Amino acid sequence: MILSGAEIIVESLKKEGVEVMFGYPGGVVIPIFHHLFNAPFKFILSRHEQGAVHAADGYARASGKVGVVIATSGPGATNLVTGIATANMDSVPLVIFTGQVSREMIGNDAFQEADITGITRPITKHNYLVQDIKDLARIIKEAFYIASTGRPGPVVVDVPVDISKGEGKYSYPEKADIRSYKPVTKGHPRQIEKACRLIESSKRPVIYAGGGVIISNASAELRSFVKKTEIPITTTLMGLGAFPETDPLSLKMLGMHGTYYANHAVNECDLLIAVGARFDDRVTGKVSEFAPKARVIHIDIDPSSVQKSVRVDVPIVGDCRNVLADINKQVKAPSIKEWVSALKKMKKEHPLGYRDSEITIKPQYVVEKIEELTKGEALVCTEVGQNQMWVAQFYNFTEPRSFFSSGGLGTMGYGFPAAIGVQLARPDMRVFDIAGDGSIQMNIQELIVAVQHRLPIIIAILNNGFLGMVRQWQQLFYDKRYSHTCINIQPDFVKLAEAFGAVGIGVDKKEDVVPAIKKALEITDRPIIIDFRVDREENVYPLIPAGTSVKEMITSELI
């Protein structure tokens, strides 16, 4: 079959079962958009390319499928960079098509030319510049395979306009066979046996579960492992929902803003079982003082993540789901009743909390009421900063793929466009974006996309008139010099919502918080912004300052 390059792209996407695609048109991708016009999948026109890639990211995280994006050359492609880096840090499978100037013009500083393969090489799992139309179908097959297997990540396919206009023979490969890329999915039996014996002999074990558990759909295996061994478990920010936080064995999140009891459990444990986590700096703090008494088991599909930050006693390279299934077949429960009892006592003595107020709205209270009124069954996106940490602390996640946030890169402006992708992936669920007043303004243009597609996303702005997390650090570590973090001059978010065709609700009093959330939940045909004017200088605690250890934990301003 002879097809144009543009037709090959569309036919290949059909073969891959693509249902939703995100992007923005431009000069050199017009031939592709010409054939997308009648494509049998939904195309979501973002209002900025960054919005498109974050939406595809949210779609991928919520659905478990590969997110697909297209943008034009030059500025269209470079506008994708932040979203690509976000997905790369959090291991999100994306295939990104970028247009490129014709092959004969590459390197001549042609109009809207940018070396996007060079620019994105450090922030992609792999990328391609298509140089022959006969390779196009194979490259697309490989791109989807690379993006979705092993440790997932974004793959860029840069398509010169003369390739998309040209013609070639089309035959889509049944499978991708890349000699240099063979991800290991099964753990080594001897290492698994070592891990089991170490678990059985431990007296103070802790499970440390990360986003890899969710990515590999290993939540059921993780829950079986905890049930069989009765080992207490803490999760990373990206691992929220992998294990129900309502379970007595849950220690909730660890790390810089993790719970007192999770961090102290890790500090005192004699065995740390890391599953699908990468020991990032927000978890470890000062590496030399992280889990100082523990031997370490590390299960991860990415061999480059093992031994990268901390010394590991039993490394197991493989898919979390397969490795946990194998461990569950043979491991025996350790004798740890005293340890479990001690941690339960610690949870009672040092719970998460805040000083409530009848005068001002506390942001934690808003998060608690959202959980209460949705019965903990909403899909929750966040922006980055204090809003993100309050959600992680005060919303109890019980299911995987229910929390969506930029973890590794910490991208402000991620949450709302990601919520669009999440809502498209899960139309049966209510989706919240819990945002700060600073971060929501970074991609607010995407509100019209949610209005156009009648997506009932609820944007709950915890509006404190500050860039809150930076202000908190300025307060605690920089002599309260609030340099350029006060943003009192901001839009009227209620009027802004109405201008876009959404619903706007303003909340100034604590007694209006619950009615506002209830009103928003009754609306099902358009997005809703709820502007909660919260306590301006409320801080996130606990806090372990960067580069320190649990010994330097600040638990509250009351101490």
Q: What is the pLDDT of residues 298-331, one digit of tens each?
A: 999 999 999 999 999 999 999 999 999 999 999 9
The pLDDT, as a whole number, for residue 484 is: 96
Is the pLDDT assigned to residue 355 strictly greater than 70?
yes
Residue 467 φ then ψ, to 5°: -80, 90
pLDDT, mean over the chain: 97
Strand partners, 459: 433, 529
DSSP 8-state class, residue 122: G
E strand or H helix at 448:
helix 447-452
- End-to-end CA, the chain: 74
Is the pLDDT assigned to residue 558 strictly greater than 90?
no
Q: Is 324 exposed, middle or buried (0-12, 13-18, 19+ CB in 10 A)?
A: buried
Strand partners, 316: 299
The pLDDT, as a whole number, for residue 559 is: 39
Is the pLDDT assigned to residue 533 strictly greater than 50?
yes
Maximum distance among all Cα pairs of the chain, rounded to whole angstroms:
74
Which residues lie closer than 8 Å to 220 by C-beta, 6 or more apart?
Answer: none
The two structure tokens encoding residue 5? 């390059």
In the chain, ranges of CATH 3.40.50.970 domains:
2-169, 363-540
Q: Please provide the CATH number assigned to the domain covering 189-349.
A: 3.40.50.1220
Q: Residue range 543-547: average pLDDT? A: 94
Confidence of residue 40 (pLDDT cuts 50, 70, 90): very high
**Domain over 363-540 is classified CATH 3.40.1010.10:** no
**Do residues 433 and 383 touch, judged by C-beta distance below 8 A?**
yes
CA–CA distance, 460 with 439 (Å, rounded to integer): 12
HSE, CB side, 13 Å, CA atoms: give it for residue 298: 22
Percent of the chain surpassing pLDDT 90: 99
The two structure tokens encoding residue 485? 């973090």
CA–CA distance, 421 with 449 (Å, rounded to integer): 11
CA–CA distance, 304 with 485 (Å, rounded to integer): 38
Which residues lie closer than 8 Å to 459 by C-beta, 6 or more apart?
Answer: 416, 419, 432, 433, 435, 440, 527, 528, 529, 530
CA–CA distance, 49 with 276 (Å, rounded to integer): 30
The two structure tokens encoding residue 281? 């700096």
Q: Residue range 265-272: average pLDDT? A: 98
CA–CA distance, 558 with 353 (Å, rounded to integer): 12
129-178: pLDDT as tens digits: 999 999 999 999 999 999 999 999 999 999 999 999 999 999 999 999 99
CA–CA distance, 224 with 321 (Å, rounded to integer): 11
The pLDDT, as a whole number, for residue 556 is: 85
The two structure tokens encoding residue 556? 């509250």
E strand or H helix at 262:
helix 260-268
Q: Is residue 45 left, alpha or beta, with left meaning phi > 0 and alpha meaning psi from -120 to 50?
A: beta
In the chain, ranges of CATH 3.40.50.1220 domains:
189-349
Which residues lie closer than 8 Å to 152 by C-beta, 6 or more apart?
Answer: 91, 92, 93, 125, 215
pTM: predicted TM-score of the whole model, two decimal places: 0.97
Other Cβ atoms within 10 Å of 108 Cβ, number: 9
**Rounded alpha-carbon distances, angstroms, from residue 465 to 388, 395, 439, 485, 557:** 16, 23, 11, 9, 21
- Looking at 3.40.50.970, 3.40.640.10, 1.10.287.3610, 3.40.50.1000, the CATH number of the domain 2-169 comes to 3.40.50.970
Q: Residue range 195-223: average pLDDT? A: 98
Residue with tokens 């699908």: 276
CA–CA distance, 260 with 266 (Å, rounded to integer): 10
415-472: pLDDT as tens digits: 999 999 999 999 999 999 999 999 999 999 999 999 999 999 999 999 999 999 999 9
Give the CA dihedral 73, 78, 83, 89, nearest 10 degrees.
110
Q: Residue range 277-305: average pLDDT? A: 96
Is the pLDDT assigned to residue 119 strictly greater than 80?
yes
Residues in the chain: 559
Which residues lie closer than 8 Å to 231 by C-beta, 6 or more apart?
Answer: 199, 205, 206, 207, 225, 249, 273, 334, 336
**Alpha helices per DSSP H over 149-251:** 161-165, 189-201, 211-215, 219-229
Would you tell me the crossing angle of helices 49-63 and 415-425 to the nearest 10 degrees? 50
Q: Residue range 90-105: average pLDDT? A: 98
